[in-house]
Structure 1
Amino acid sequence: MLVQQSSALKDEIMRLKKEKDVVILAHNYQIPDVQDVADFTGDSLGLSRQAATVSQKTILFCGVNFMAETASIISPDKRVLIPDLEAGCSLSDSITVDELRDWKKQHPGAIAVGYVNTTAEIKAELDYCCTSSNAVNVVNAIPEDKEILFLPDMFLGSYVAKMTGRKNMHIWAGECHVHAGIRPEDVQEKLNSLKDAEFVIHPECSCTTPMMYDVADGSYDQNKVSILSTEGMLNHVHQSKSKNFVVATETGILYKMRQQNPGKTFIPASDKAECQYMKMITLEKVYDALVNEKNVVTVPKEIADKARLAINRMLEIS
């Protein structure tokens, strides 16, 4: 019965989005049903770029709040909706705009580099935005004698500092509750259970820190390791000749991996790696947002214009 209801709701969503000329974007961490009704799936930056190129004037962004804000900043002429305005982000919440301003005052002249997983207000205070896939390139593009304030993710920051060799990088002590919860012992247990497994890992994971030196050598206890963004993970596992993978990121990504690679096995590094905020988006909420055209995400022009500068610098370096 539930399957029938779900199928009928999907059909209705597909009809409505055509009728109302709405494009649906869904993050890789969304539940399978929501990914199924999306026109495009991807990581937050890829989806925001997609938002700027689509012909539709209304975007329904199935992800968390900062992602919809970024889409709105990149595409100011479009209307951006989100199925649930309460879908936040523990990493984005780990720094406030007042804390960032105070930090900048303590380090006059420093270059502020912020992960895309931040609010529009924070982005407006940054010199550069970055993603997990281009953070190393962004930091390398900054003159070596310049101090860097890197925020808000301490695990991504540690990884970038290690890969760039920067000694003048200050790292904010923020974390994503999902990635921080993936422990080295979880990973080891899963790797031991799967023969010849490749290990793909998101740089926000706390397990990257003790593993970094091994990973720099290209292995971890004889397992091939790749540190990648979610989009990088999807591309890598598709091209790899390996058959077995242990995946260290939010479990939502496994749906697409299995869909695209039916002959391969994917297991999560931790079964508990679920984002409660991503999972707030349901088919019912997608339908409701479409029918009522509600939950419009807007960013004040002054903030959007400043934030766009940092985002555009990131896009140029990508």
Structure 2
Amino acid sequence: MNKAITIPLIKVPLTAHIEALNPHYSPEQKLRVKAQIKQKLKEQDAVLVAHYYVERDLQELAEETGGYVSDSLDMARFGNEHPAKTLIVAGVRFMGETAKILNPEKRVLMPTLEAECSLDLECPAEQFIAFCDEHPDRTVVVYSNTSAEVKARADYVVTSSIAVDLVTWLDEQGKKILWAPDKHLGRYIQRLTGADMLLWQAACVVHDEFKFRSLGEMLDKYPDAGVLVHPESPEDIIRLADAVGSTSQLIKAAQTLPHQRFIVATDSGIFYKMQQAAPDKTFIAAPTMGEGATCKSCAHCPWMAMNGLHNLLSVLETGGNEIFVEESVRVKALRSTQRMLDFAKMRRDSGH
């Protein structure tokens, strides 16, 4: 990492602020607000797409209204294929931007524009572009958890489900890689592929907090448990995994692995879909407490937690929080994203 490049310090939103955005509802209030949201989605020809990590109420609501729950790229692809004129994206800001990049003709709204991503914040476009310019011999591959401006500078955008395959393919062509932003995911890919990779040094505020010693103690308590780990986690956590993969891959592993109990090292918002996929199994959040713990996230992204029924209804009433991406940036970001989609299609067509 170039010494001139410094990772900015970020402020994690306080619990009090998160709770102020979405006050607690009684069961009766919740039913009433959900009914209002469903009516407004219908009136406005809008569809709700929600990330695996937002609260259960929003995931349920997306499913109940013909929307979709998935990862960021799949959310955007669904929006592209759905006839609705308005996309409501429950997630963090880069997800709204990704939806707009792929769907420029549609109105894209978010429950809150305050919902950021630590990986995005720790990879400012201006610094990243300068870093890329210092290494013109490298193919730039960026994770989807980045701004539209960073995607516009990249040669390829990837999700965690396809990153290893795409980097392997580039390495076979003799390409040297500049990777951003997640250092843990980058090292994981580097170990698996052997590729020459120069890594940006950001980390996810959720996955970076899982603790090796505490996880070992939890395994002592539950020796029959399987361990499911997202590759944004530190290397020592990955070493303990029975399955490592993207959100959708971990949900699949929960279904197919023989364990009846799982310790899960990713955002606990995923438990809703895991329990849906494997209703007879038990899921436990991997520990974020222990030696050196700060518990900024406690296994749940504080920015994802900013999305709720209250501000979802508000955005449908006001039409606020619309996502815009400058057209010149959008076109360049679409190019790098489309390359990944084309690669994924090539793999599917070849039977991989």
Q: Which residue in the other structure is 2:47 paired with?
A: 23
Distance 1:193 1:114 in 2: 38
Q: In the alignment, does 2:73 pair up with 1:49? A: no
Identical-pair percentage: 36
Q: Alignment partner of 1:102: what SS?
A: helix
Q: In the alignment, does 2:176 pair up with 1:150? A: no
Contact 1:87 1:277 in 2 (8 A): yes
Q: Which residue in the other structure is 1:161 paired with?
A: 190
* Structure 1 residues 1-318: aligned runs within 5 Å: 2-38=26-62, 39-144=67-172, 145-166=174-195, 168-206=196-234, 209-210=235-236, 215=239, 220=240, 225-270=242-287, 272-318=298-344
Q: Report deviation, 1:211.
A: 5.1
Distance 1:190 1:43 in 2: 28
- Structure 1 window deviating more from structure 2 (87-96 vs 12-21): it is 12-21
Unaligned 5+ residue runs, structure 2?
A: 1-24, 289-297, 345-352
Distance 2:237 2:181 in 1: 21
Q: Which residue in the other structure is 2:13 paired with?
A: none
Output the aligned Cα RMSD. 1.5
- Structure 1 window deviating more from structure 2 (60-69 vs 270-279): it is 270-279
Q: Which residue in the other structure is 2:19 paired with?
A: none
Distance 2:221 2:83 in 1: 47
Q: Alignment partner of 1:245: what SS?
A: strand
Instruction: Name segments (4+ residues, structure 1) moved above 4 Å.
Output: none
Q: Which amino acid aligns with 1:301?
A: E
Distance 1:26 1:108 in 2: 37
Distance 1:197 1:143 in 2: 36
Distance 1:150 1:262 in 2: 37
Q: TM-score by structure 2 length?
A: 0.84
How many residues align? The count is 306
Distance 1:273 1:189 in 2: 17
Q: TM-score by structure 1 length?
A: 0.92
Contact 1:134 1:317 in 2 (8 A): no
Measured against aligned partners, the alpha-carbon deviations of 1:120-158 in whole angstroms (never above 9, x if no partner) come to 000000000011111111111214532210000000000
